[in-house]
Amino acid sequence: MAEKKKDPGPSVKDPEVYEALRDEGASKEKAARIANASAAEGRTAVGERGGEASDYEDRTVEELRHRAAELDIEGRSSMTKDELVDALRHH
């Protein structure tokens, strides 16, 4: 039996890209942002642009906690670096 995907809603302009990103573990916010950019600019343009973010492992615990605060991740103040990285990746 095939799994039925939940409709991401009308705000997502490229549901195929959105679902692929969610399947890879991207957050709903990130998947929607990339899917909408690919619908507006074309998938190739968005793919070539890429990102400039540093790896979480290269950041300090303070930097990770700051990013976790921006995303309102609960329990961040008592998390270890590995826990912060995991929480940020699976937000």
Whole-number Cα distances in Å, 76 to 11, 23, 30, 59, 67 = 30, 25, 20, 15, 10
Q: Which amino acid, one-letter code, is at 45?
A: A
pLDDT tens column, 13-63: 778 888 887 888 888 888 888 887 776 666 666 665 655 566 888 889 999
> Given this model, what pLDDT does residue 53 score?
60
pLDDT at 1: 47
Tokens of 75: 């329990």
User: Maximum Cα–Cα distance for the chain, whole Å?
Assistant: 46
pTM: 0.44
